[in-house]
Amino acid sequence: MGSKHTATCECGYSKEIVVGGSRNSFTTHSYFPYFCKKCGVVDVNVEAETIYCPECNSVEVEQYGLSKVSDLSLNQTNQRLQYFSRKAFEDGNLCPKCLKFKMKFSSSSVIFS
């Protein structure tokens, strides 16, 4: 089941993101937020053979929830995003606008099943 979230930062950055996929296509099309240096926060199809930015086709993307783009030293317990083994916490994520670890992921709403 897919869900919609919002990534926001105190600097004014905001973007809607998608996590997961539909019941009919989750094995080929499922999404999780990644950071692309050129495009910012992007919904990457994690079921694709190669993980790449859907906007510029760069393979230099980093998954949110991992140490390069999320501050894992915060000892957070509020896991906000999860899709199978991929997970990211609510706070401490790299904002593509201000480049600080201040971006937050909001609560989800189901968008498709």
Q: Give the global pTM.
A: 0.88
How far apart are the C-alpha atoms of 113 and 21, rounded to whole Å?
8
Give how many domains the chain has, as a whole number: 1
Tell me the sheet residues that pair with 110.
Answer: 3
Tell me: the pLDDT tens digits for 6-50?
A: 999 999 999 999 999 877 777 788 999 999 999 999 999 999 999
Tell me: the pLDDT tens digits for 49-95?
A: 999 999 999 999 999 999 999 998 876 666 678 788 899 988 999 99
- Structural domain that includes position 69: 2-112
Q: In the chain, how many H helices and how many E strands?
A: 0, 9
